[in-house]
Structure 1
Amino acid sequence: MAGLSLRLLRQLSSSDLSQRDSLLRLATPLGQDALLVECVRGEEGLSHGFSFAISALSVDANLSLKSLIGQPALLQLMTAHSRDVLRPFHGHVTAVEHSGSDGGLARYRLTLEPWTRFASLGRDSRVFQHMTVFDIIDAVFREYQSKGRLAPEWRFDIVDRDVYPVRSLTTQYQESNFAFVARLMAEEGLFHFFEHTDDPGSPSLGSHTMVIADHNGAFQPNFQPQVRFTQSSAVMKEDGMDRWRIEQRLRAGAVELDSWDYRALRQRSVSTGGHGAALTDHDTRGQYAYTTREHGQRLADRHLESVTAGAELYVGAGTVRTLAPGTTFTLHGQAQLDAADDAARTFAVVRVVHLMHNNLTAALQACATACLGPGALALQLAGEQGTSLHAVGPGKGERPLYRNRIDAIRSSTPYRTGPDAHPQRPRVQGQQTAIVVGSAGSVIHTDRDHRVKVQFHWQRGEQGQSRLAHPAGDNHTGAPGDDTAGTWVRVATPLAPVAGANWGSHALPRVGQEVLVDFLEGDIDRPVVIGAVYNGRGQMDAQYNQVAGGPGGSTGNAAAWFPGESGSHAHAAVLSGIKSQAMKDSQAGAGAYSQLVLDDSPGQSRLSLQRHAAAHDGMDELNLGMLRHQTDNRRLHPTGFGAELKTANGLAMRAGRGLLLSADARGNASGTQLDAREAGSQVGASKALQESLASAAQQHNAKLDGEPAPAKLPATTELADTLATLDATDGGEHTNPATAFSQPHLQLSAPAGIVAVTPASAVMFAGATTSLTAGQDINVAAQGSWLNGFKDGITLFTYGKASAGDKPNKETGFAMHAASGKASVQSQSGMTKLAAAKRVTVASVAKSVMVAAKQHVMLTAQGAYLKLEGGNIMLHGPGKMSFKATSKELAGPADGSFNAPALPSAKPLYDEQFVLLDKHSGEPMAFVAYRIEGPEGVLARGVTDATGHTQRVHTGFKRQTLQLFLDE
């Protein structure tokens, strides 16, 4: 065969190996006539690009196939208009195959595709922010400029760019650049086709431009705008159409789109289409699919157009070599169409399949057949041309050199890419982790709506976790590692699955933390943070991470509590709970913090609520259970069992309906919250003792003028009121009746005693009555003075009954002794009475006793008396008088006057108390803040009690005008 091949090749002339007059001409970097086209099968369509399989012959069986890959190539088809009017198909060689050779003749198969084929190779993941679809397409396609012999060209033909919104977040994820762009175009209702130009003399051999459009007005009339429908034949004077049919498909007549807008709190619904449509395409687009109703309506309209564009499809076949996607033509001579106007007969080409054979010389064809046999592509074309669309005759001589098959729609029908051809948005399977980012120096970066910004590990850029730069440079967001990364991402409530209106759980991840991100409906553009994870490697038996941080602002976050190996760290993972961290030390974890610790150690369970003003310092704690000190993960020595409340600062306990502090035990959780039966028993005993002693005192005339009966005394009535307060219930307000103080009462109770001590001063004040009762003794001792003041009077009474026999002092009664200093008893504005049932002794052990009066002094007993009055001495007696002395002296008059003590006159003491009443209802205004002012300023501040009363204000001897004001 090799000898036959060489002999046949020698018989070929130069014209046999020239493309000058060929129907099909192929130009490559190998040279003008290096490859002679044998046959071609090509396919091109709207939004589908183009692909041409070319079978070519060459007298060089050793062509460098690798040198052709990626190189520009130009295929030219001679048209019916002139030998010089050639239709160009410009592209790049994306595949080359050596199909066979025999001696000096070889067959090659080449694939010609657009520059977008290179954008279809490989996958990428990146984020685009605040860009329109046109900005994104430009950014992606610019990457291919100035790359080798690749010269991508594209242009937009858009009716109104302003209707396309700025997209806050658009993510390319694990998809090729072209798949990403095609998806965006389909989502926005855009389509594309290619325009070809030839320039065989240039290194690029020409160009092909992607036209991206959103309206049929971008379609241009075909180079042969009028096409005649005629009979099929292998030889025709003009190119025409000889096959024509219409295909009708059932399609939905209406579209409804739904999308949940979490910011507007409603499902946004838009619809379009006829009201009488039998079928409705109901599409739920996921979360926040369109920004406004107008945007959603445009998407719905485009969706319906994509559905209905394929409802009526016209399929034709013929020999019109200039037909191309994105061009229009008018068909004449078709019976059903001729009755209509030109608008109904004008069609837009959607898809073209080309079947082409070159007009090689008979000698070259014979040589190729003899040496190489029929080519695979030629056999494929023969099979397709045998179908009803292309068959024109059974013989080889009747085979046309060029046939095509087209799909078309009426030019008045808006074209959109069909829904079945839509590239699907990537669906994320499972969750991912990401790093929370924020502005420089910030610890937490959020907005009013509990959202944060995150950066994924696969994002490349200067501040990416991989530190790898993206080859696309600045055409996209990259990985800035700050608040410009990504968009706001919602955060699921972590402490409890609750997010209510001004209520719910709150805990935002901070800058640098690694969070767990899920995607709503798997949509890569709809991330939501569902949790946070610890990362890095913690130090054994020590806090913190072995690696403090990483690229992109990530921080090492080791768990605060962990199972250790030695010392106080040596415990199982028994600690659980929540630990916060002060903002300024957030990324170091060594500052102030608060924590809720649940210690589940066997037999040593503990609950601790703590706040630390600094690391391990400034503690405020509430501890329950087995009490022990804890520093970070270290369980230190125990300190007791029960409950402990401690603080290094102030502590306030406020109970608006009463407070009970009791050391009375309750077994098996019996009793109710304010059950104070032990205290009530003691108050009752106090009341009984008070009444008993008061009754005895009154019987012995130890009472003040106008003093009420013992049961009505202020002390006993207050004790009765206290008993009523302690015995009150809530009336079954919450289920069963329970003890509930009827007034905001503070009750202290302890079965073994109450001790209140201070090395400084103690103050006890009651605005009404103070009752002090002891079942046995009351001892009052003072290192200094004991001062008592009483405005309305004082009664001191002792029952005087003999005490217990074991007491050393057997005396009963009342004793006032001054071991040193003076003792003084005065009635400054009234009389003083001193009486005893038995003997009264007035004695001066060391000096004298003086009895003096301004008017007279009278001593009397048994009817006899001694009276000193008016300077006279009168002695009277019913019996004898005896004067006995060693000597008797009666002398002249003498004066025994003395200086009486000056007694001050009593002045009134002033006090006042207010009652606040509502001026409309007259009801008491309870628990209202007030202040009382006098001429010299504020005298008192407080809150009214349950009956609207203020505290009583005392001004001493000063009579003042008081003013009452309501405070905030």
Structure 2
Amino acid sequence: MSQNARLLRVKASFIDDSCVVTYLNGSESLSQPFQLQLGFQSIRESFSSEDVIGQKVAVAIHPQGRSDPHYLHGRVNQLTLQDVSDNGTRGYELSLVPGLWFLSQAGCNRIFENKTAVEIVKEVIKSYGAFCPLELKVSKRYLVREYCVQFNESDLAFVQRLLAEDGINYYFTHSETEHTLVLADAPGGFADTPEGTVVIENRARTGGSEGVAIFEWRRTLRYHPQACEQLDYNQDTPKNFYKQNIPTTSKFSQVPAVNSLQRYGGYNFKDGSNSCHDFEPDYNKLLTAHWMEAMESTHNVAEATSNCTGFRAGARFELDHALASECDKYLLTRVSHQASNSTGGLERYQNRFQCVAAKVPVRPPREQVKRHMPGPQMAKVMSMSASASQGDADPQRMIRVQFPWDSEHNSCKLRVLQGYAGSGWGASFVPREGQEVLVDFINGDPDRPIVVGAMYNKDNQGPKYTATQSGWLTQSGNANEFRFDDKNGAEEVYMKAGKDYNFVVANNETGAVHNDQSLAVSNMRSVDVGADETKTVGANQSLTVGTNQTLTVGANQSNTIASNKTETIAVNFAETVGAAKELTIGGLYQVTVGAAMNETVAAVKAEEVGASRFLVVGQSMSEDVGKDRSLNVGNTSTHTAKKIQISAEDELVITVGKASITMKKDGTITVSGKDIDFKGSGKINVKASKDVIIKGKKVLTN
């Protein structure tokens, strides 16, 4: 056996010329990995997976009359060992796939930040090394994705999804030594087939014929939605409910009233350097247009068979048809190959293909949807937005977290669910670094996570609350706390301010304490009452001031004591009355001064005693009157002393009715009255330095 001079020839490291290809079947489609089955006979009894699986295989198709073959190239992902034939050779079948197929056998849960879809695809494919050579034929600008998640997706599903989202096709080129993955986003990214212009014939041509031809040409026109509409919502512009509507360019005779296909949540954000975190409207309009173009590319599809061995998905050819309306340039979207090497000399190649007009924009179908997150996930808080940990305001209350399935990257900035949220009002609790949080996903989208709660774990066990206690204990150097205790008989509401405690009551405040109240202030206390204050103490009141007490009353003060009042001053007592002072005592009034007592009256002092007044001076008594002094006694005035001394600087006058005694500072004494009697139980001496004059109507002497 020999491969020489056969239609199908194979080249691989584990195959020699004694191996003969018997058949080739398989298909390739635009934006799909190809799958080929290659059968061959060999005198070898067996091959091992170590020798075969993953190896490169090149299949050369040699049409009769052509010196240059056309190649299909792939890698082995399956080997089938068949039975032994009558001629002693054993049959084998190889399954050939592109290197891209191996991405379906692996996958990572990971996060990409601030990269385009093309950059992400390059990064994923690069990790597979030589298995997947890549060529880029992309010409458009693609959005830098702020945040992109691969979760529970194979690498192949992830790559195909990203390319489909951005409307990028892929196909493969083949050579004797390699196959290459090509990314294309415009008609210029597709190459022409080696056949060039192909003629339609009425009968099938085999690979052994001299010319190439297309036969059994037919065209299918399909209905598709008349418009694609994408809707979305963005928290940074909450008044806008985003909508992009792209109508079709296809024409139909009649369409139903409802003919638009809607999807929600397909928008992409501006890149991460944009502070407003808004959508990119122009780009999202383009994505909606790509979605419409993907459906329009299935509207007008031609199908045929041919013997063109150079036909490949992603290649273009020119059609020469008897009908001028069919003559055009077409893009191959699917090619199914069938070829056989017959030991009897009958060799045949044929394919069946689908194509669309090359001028029609072709986009991959939006069948590859994001992996729907099955539920919330645990994550660890890695950082807070801005400098929120130091007290700076963050209107979105955003944090970054790390998921267990991607220890190398943090998430994007996540919003935190609040129990109450409004315009300038609501609740605000932001998880701190190191906390375990529960992250859910809006609409199940892995690219739109949101923090919905926090949990305790072995490292973060929370406050040491009992089974009956609940509340909040914040994280700070001296934490704030608000706690409830529902223990039967010991119910408690406990509040602690780590530093300052401020509260504002816009109108009334009413409180009731049904037992005792205790308030301890370690430093100063200030109470400011703007209007009236009323305080009622049902029993006793005790006030202790450690140092000074100052009481200022802006107007009047009135104190009413129903019974006794006792006031004890350990040292001095000073009382200043700016104007008049009136003291009314209903019963006894007693003043006891332990030492000296000084009384100063700046103007007039009036003292009125309704009954008797007793003044007892234990020792000396001195009275100093700056000007006049008047003493009026309604009845008797009695002065008793061992010695009484009366001194006047100018004149002393004693008057009783018409009788008087006048003493002047010059020594003159005048005794005046009606009758004057001098009586003495002993002697009466009259002595003068000068004359003694006695005048009267009659002077009697004894």
Deviations 1:350-392 (A, max 9, x none): 011111112x332xx8xxxxxxxxxxxxxxxxxxxxxxxxxxx
Amino acid at match of 1:41: N
Secondary structure of the structure 2 residue equivalent to 1:299: helix
C-alpha distance in 2 between matches for 1:596 and 1:526? 33
* Residues in 2 aligned to 1:831 and 1:132: alpha-carbon distance in whole angstroms: 111
Aligned equivalents of 2:622, 2:449: Cα separation in 1: 90
1:231 corresponds in structure 2 to: 202
1:154 aligns with 2:154: no
**Aligned residue number for residue 490 of structure 1:** 415
User: Structure 1 CA distance, aligned partners of 2:546 and 2:384?
Assistant: 55
Aligned counterpart, 2:497: 611
Classify 1:98/1:789 alpha carbon distance in 2 versus 1 (closer, same or farther; 3 Å): closer
Residue 250 (structure 1) aligned with residue 223 (structure 2): yes
Q: What are the within-5 Å matches in structure 2 for residues 707-746 of structure 1?
A: 744-746=531-533
Question: Which residue of 1 is the match for residue 80 of structure 2?
Answer: 97
Aligned amino acid, residue 557 of structure 1: N
Q: Which residue does the alignment assign to 1:241?
A: 214
Q: In structure 2, what is the equivalent of residue 120 of structure 1?
A: 104
How far 1:19 moved relative to its partner? 1.3
Corresponding residue of 2:289: 301
Q: What is the match of residue 645 of structure 1?
A: 519
The DSSP-based 3-state class of the residue aligned with 2:289 is: helix
What is the aligned partner in structure 1 of residue 365 from structure 2?
Answer: 418
Alignment match, 1:527: 449
In the other structure, the counterpart of 2:700 is none
Q: Normalized per residue, which structure has more helix? A: 1
Q: Tell me how far apart the structure 2 counterparts of residues 232 and 52 of structure 1 sit (CA, whole Å).
A: 26
Distance in 1, matches of 2:682 and 2:216, equals: 176
Map 1:69-218 → 2, pairs under 5 A: 69-79=53-63, 82-102=65-85, 104-145=88-129, 150-160=130-140, 163-198=141-176, 206-218=177-189
Query: For residues 575-724 of structure 1, what are the structure 2 equivalents within 5 Å?
Result: 575-583=469-477, 592-611=478-497, 642-656=516-530
Map of 2:261 onto structure 1: 281
Instruction: Name the SS of the counterpart of 1:305 in structure 2.
Output: helix
The reply to whether residue 434 of structure 1 matches residue 379 of structure 2 is yes
- Aligned counterparts of 1:513 and 1:169: Cα–Cα separation in 2: 22
CA shift in 2, pair 1:62/1:772, >3 Å: closer
Among the aligned pairs, what percent are the same residue? 22
Alignment-mate amino acid for residue 411 of structure 2: G
Query: Structure 1 residues 776, 33: closer, same or farther in 2, change over 3 A?
Result: same
| Post-superposition CA distance 1:664-712 (Å, at most 9, x none) | xxxxxxxxxxxxxxxxxxxxxxxxxxxxxxxxxxxxxxxxxxxxxxxxx
Q: Deviation of residue 793 (structure 1)?
A: 4.2
* Corresponding pairs, count: 641
CA distance in 2, matches of 1:439, 1:773: 61
2:515 equivalent to 1:515: no
Given that 1:619 and 1:647 are in contact with CA atoms closer than 8 Å, whether structure 2 keeps it comes out as: no
What aligned pairs does 1:445-524 form with structure 2 within 5 A after superposition?
447-459=394-406, 464=407, 478-479=408-409, 485-493=410-418, 497-524=419-446
Are the aligned partners of 1:315 and 1:405 in contact in 2 as well (CA < 8 Å)? yes
Name the amino acid aligned to 1:243. E
C-alpha change, 1:816 and 1:252, in structure 2 (3 Å) is farther
Decide which structure has the larger Cα Rg and report it.
2
Sort the Cα spacing of 1:788 and 1:242 in 2 relative to 1 into closer, same or farther, 3 A.
Answer: closer
The equivalent residue for 2:2 is 18
AA aligned opposite 2:474: S
CA contact (8 A) 1:857 1:868 kept: yes
| SS class of match (1:124) | coil
State the distance in 1 between where 2:34 and 2:473 align: 61
Aligned: 1:330 with 2:310: no
Separation in 2, partners of 1:889, 1:247 = 171
Aligned to 1:272: 246
Contact 2:480/2:497 (8 A) holds in 1: yes
Q: 1:247 to 1:766 in 2, by over 3 A?
A: same
Structural RMSD (CA): 3.6
1:32 Cα deviation from its structure 2 partner = 3.3
Amino acid of the residue matched to residue 489 of structure 1?
L
Q: Letter of the 1:519 partner, please give it.
A: F
Shift of 1:840: 5.1
Aligned to 2:596: none
Q: Deviations over 1:82-119 (max 9, x none)?
A: 43211111110110001211472111111010001111
Q: Does 1:355 align with 2:277?
A: no
Cα 1:222/1:855, change in 2 over 3 Å: farther
Cα deviation, residue 878, structure 1: 5.8
1: distance between equivalents of 2:57 and 2:619?
A: 130
Contact preservation (8 Å) 1:800, 1:813: no
Q: TM-score, normalised by structure 1?
A: 0.61
Q: Which runs of 5+ in 2 are unaligned?
A: 271-278, 504-510, 591-609, 690-702
- Looking at structure 1, the residues matched to 621 and 298 of structure 2 have their Cα atoms a distance apart, in angstroms, of 123
Q: Secondary structure at the match of 2:313?
A: coil
1:242 Cα deviation after fit: 0.9
CA distance in 2, matches of 1:649, 1:787: 27
1:208–1:595 distance in 2 versus 1, CA, 3 Å: same
Instruction: Rate the CA distance shift 1:242–1:880 in 2: closer, same or farther, 3 A.
Output: same
Counterpart of 2:48 in 1: which secondary structure? coil
Instruction: For 2:339, give the aligned amino acid.
Output: M
C-alpha change, 1:402 and 1:783, in structure 2 (3 Å) is closer
Contact 1:255 1:281 in 2 (8 A): yes
Q: Separation in 2 of the partners of 1:314 and 1:857?
A: 152
Is residue 265–residue 443 contact of structure 2 (8 Å, CA) maintained in 1? no
Q: Structure 1 595/880 Cα, relative in aligned 2: closer, same or farther at 3 Å?
A: same
Q: 1:124 offset after TM fit, Å?
A: 1.8
Structure 1 gap segments, 5+ residues each: 1-16, 199-205, 366-396, 465-477, 480-484, 537-555, 564-572, 584-591, 628-639, 657-743, 804-810, 894-968
Match of 2:508 in 1: none
Deviates more, 1:101-110 or 1:854-863: 854-863
Instruction: Report the residue type matching 1:524 in the other structure.
Output: P
**Counterpart residue number, 1:666:** none
Contact 2:653 2:660 (8 Å CA) reproduced = yes
